[in-house]
Amino acid sequence: MEKEIVLNTSKIGKFFYDPIEFKALDDITFEAYKGEFLTLIGKSGSGKSTLLYILSTMDTEYEGELFIDGKKITGQKQDNLAKIRNENIGFVFQFHYLLPEFSCLKNIMIPALKLGKFSREEIEEQAYSRLKMLDMTDQALKPASKLSGGQQQRIAIARALINNPKIIMCDEPTGNLDTKNTQIVFDIFQQIAHELGQTIIAVTHDTDFAKASDRTIELADGKIISHGKK
């Protein structure tokens, strides 16, 4: 099968200046393919989260170039980047970060309402189908703050999926989940990547989780030490 590149970087480097000048990333060049479940691992301070934030387009202060779907992202304006994130990237964070005043359904719908591609009714339908996939339909109308951690994480995944993004980025998605919930999240990721063909890039320090993924890139001291080609 021909592998289609959805994201690639060219010689990305990143400095931190506070408290002292420190090179957090050096010469990072790699590709991520369509439908791939990719994990980034490395010790604390290896730069894996820093890299993820650059890939997410939220961090714009770096050297080198970033391409998503063949389009150059480096150097674009903030408002454009917001649009690109809205359309192409879904996020799942370690601390689920839902909007507490809104119902789960609304939380899932907001990025789609922002995108404005479908009518409200269609978006609601899509949100329900995501919830069904994650087995969360009965929680739809509860306020987000009333859910357990694992449930909130699943809502966050549903939100990440709502706009059918090409890439889903996760920062320690299972960081504070128990084994059972970790397994649920892992299975969902597998399903997303292999059945829906969306790319997942997850930062994790959970080696079991990483081992089970399609490919693992390992970082150490800001450099890629293993591309983990399979």
By beta-carbon proximity to other proteins, the closer residue of 33 and 53 is: 53
Q: How far is the CB of 10 from other proteins (least distance, A)?
A: 22
| DSSP state at residue 146 | G
115 binds other proteins (CB under 8 A): yes
- Determine the interface stretch with other proteins among 49-57, 67-75, 133-141, 221-229 (rule: CB under 8 A): 49-57
Rounded to an integer, what distance in angstroms lies between the CA atom of residue 13 and that of residue 9?
Answer: 10
Q: For residue 170, which of 147, 148, 193 has the smallest C-alpha distance?
A: 193
* Distance of alpha carbon 162 from alpha carbon 227, whole angstroms: 30
What is the smallest separation between the CB atom of 57 and other proteins, expressed in angstroms? Answer: 10
Window 150 to 209, contacts with other proteins (CB under 8 A): 159, 171
SS3 assignment, position 154: helix
- Give residue 183's identity as a one-letter amino acid code: Q
In the complex, minimum distance from the CB of residue 117 to other proteins, in angstroms, rounded to a whole number: 9
188-193 contacts, C-beta under 8 A, 24 or more apart: 188/133, 188/134, 188/154, 188/157, 189/37, 189/213, 190/37, 191/133, 192/161, 192/168, 193/35, 193/36, 193/37
126-155 positions binding other proteins, by CB under 8 A? none
98 binds other proteins (CB under 8 A): yes
Residue 87 in the binding site for other proteins (CB under 8 A): yes
Q: How many residues bind other proteins (CB under 8 A)?
A: 30
Site residues, other proteins (CB under 8 A)? 49, 53, 56, 58-59, 78-79, 82-87, 91, 93, 97-102, 106, 110-111, 113-116, 159, 171
